[in-house]
Amino acid sequence: MKHKTLAVSLLLPALMLAASGTAFSDDDEDEKGGFPGRWSGGGKPGVAPVENPQYLEECGGCHFPYQPGLLPARSWTKLMAGLEDHFGENAELPADDAKAIEGYLVKNAADRSTYKRSQKIMKYMRPGDVPLRISETAYFLKEHDELSRRMVQDNPEVGSFSKCGACHTQAARGSFEERSIRIPGFGRWEDD
Ligand code: HEC
Ligand code: HEC
């Protein structure tokens, strides 16, 4: 059993190193603009990943299962109240399922999250705004203003900004860091 202990003791520091590496690289330094004083700093990188099987099943069938930390609680409440006309589709759920999912979304919403990306989304949002789309929030628009139509709407492998996972290869993990962005047909995103 001796070599087993050795393997674990070698693996653990390696894993910790990998985790801290992500922590540094996922923190973009651009803190200009937004509403001063509304971002406390600190917190974990990215957004909290989805770990709720019911949410993944009910809300991940038609599109990328957006993490709750990408919108404030008030947005999720409004979105869940209008599932029968959900961006032109009927996404209605039995009342008890809808209630459970809404509870999960609200509890983990951007305005309740300690993750950095969630805090940035809130920092750029006006207090009265209730966006139904992540892709229409001020923070999102600021981060994506260099992309052309050819890369998104006219790109047969993308089609819309709602397809986070088409370009952000680590989106399901809650990571949107630049080094893991690949735009289909265009390749790696090089920011300069
Ligand atoms: C029947 C298919 C369907 C189901 C089920 C569904 N959606 Fe959607 N959803 C859509 C479509 C279509 C859009 C618009 C996509 C686009 O514009 O490209 C959308 C868009 C969204 C957006 C906005 C994305 C953006 O652009 O920022 C959110 C948020 C969202 N859905 C959340 C949910 C949640 C939460 C659930 C589960 C309760 C859910 N959806 C279930 C079809 C569905
Ligand atoms: C067509 C490809 C594409 C799609 C679809 C897309 N993104 Fe992005 N995203 C990018 C690119 C490229 C950048 C980097 C832009 C830059 O650096 O100027 C970026 C940047 C970001 C950033 C900031 C990353 C950083 O390190 O500063 C976040 C957060 C983000 N996207 C989230 C999302 C979410 C959430 C969705 C879905 C609602 C989404 N993106 C959809 C291509 C995409």
pLDDT at 136: 97
User: What are 38-87's pLDDT values in tens digits?
Assistant: 445 568 999 999 999 999 999 999 999 999 999 999 999 999 999 999 99
128 φψ region: left (φ > 0), alpha (ψ -120 to 50), beta (else): alpha
> Does any ligand 1 atom lie closer than 6 A to the CB of residue 89?
yes
> Does any ligand 1 atom lie closer than 6 A to the CB of residue 162?
yes
Residue to probe by mutation, ligand 2, list 143, 162, 183, most atoms within 8 Å of CB: 143
86 contacts 51 by C-beta, under 8 angstroms: no
Q: What's the 87 CA to ligand 1 centre distance in angstroms?
A: 7
Q: For the chain, which residues score pLDDT lower than 50?
A: 1-39
Residue to probe by mutation, ligand 2, list 150, 167, 188, most atoms within 8 Å of CB: 167
Q: At what angle do helices 73-80 and 95-107 cross, to 10 degrees?
A: 170
pLDDT at 43: 83
Residue 173 structure tokens: 């993990």
pLDDT at 12: 46
Q: What's the 148 CA to ligand 2 centre distance in angstroms?
A: 13
pLDDT at 95: 97
Residue 184 structure tokens: 């289909």
Q: Where are the domains of the chain?
A: 46-132, 144-192
> Does any ligand 1 atom lie closer than 6 A to the CB of residue 77?
no
> Does any ligand 2 atom lie closer than 6 A to the CB of residue 161?
yes
Q: What's the 84 CA to ligand 1 centre distance in angstroms?
A: 11
pLDDT at 190: 80
Ligand 1: atom nearest CA of 61 is 5
